[in-house]
Amino acid sequence: AGPIGSLRVALRALRGVRLLGSQAGSVRVMPMPAEDAADVCLRRLSQLVLQEFSRDHLQDVLLVAPHFVSTTHQDVVSQVVLPVPCQLTAALDGPQELVIEPSLVRVVEALASLWVEAACRERFWSARRAECAARALHMERSRYELGKHTKRLQHEFFKAIHQRVDVMVRETCVVQRLSAVKGR
């Protein structure tokens, strides 16, 4: 077995690696999957992470990805995926009965798999929202800049037409004066 360590999975690597700082030594970068392949990729990632964790090759797993806050603000966040962050409730009302048909190990593996896959999927779609918001802002800024250029071009066009008309009027006046002088 390999050494016990930590796994940091970074979707969109550069900002995620900077966020981890000194912990970035054991980062595995996963490129953002296409939307149509996201389910398969994230399910496979979940299975690989759980296999490594269950073999005691990993001590913990963090997922680093963009997080959509608003249209104008996105952050890169780090989320603990494994060990599963759970909070035990201190007081349970009355006796609780737990009925498990398959083995406890299989139930825990299935729940852990669902947890990791859900965490990855949530981070993926948050990252996609952040990317779409950034693109929308870029498009809005581009539209604004194009509007400014359009107004400037219209102004320049008006000036050029005005200058031509002005020259034509002056030339016409000169020709009329010259013809009036010749006519005398």
> Is pLDDT above 70 for 95?
no
Res 148: pLDDT: 95
Tell me: the pLDDT tens digits for 48-85?
Answer: 878 877 777 667 777 777 777 787 777 777 777 777 66
134 pLDDT band, cuts 50/70/90, is confident
Res 47: pLDDT: 81
- DSSP class per residue in the chain: ----EEEEEEESHHHHHHHHGGGGGGEEEEPPPPGGGHHHHHHHHHHHHHHHHHTT-EEEEEEEEEEEEETTEEEEEEEEEES------S--SS------SS-HHHHHHHHHHHHHHHHHHHHHHHHHHHHHHHHHHHHHHHHHHHHHHHHHHHHHHHHHHHHHHHHHHHHHHHHHHHHHHHH-
Res 1: pLDDT: 36
Res 140: pLDDT: 93
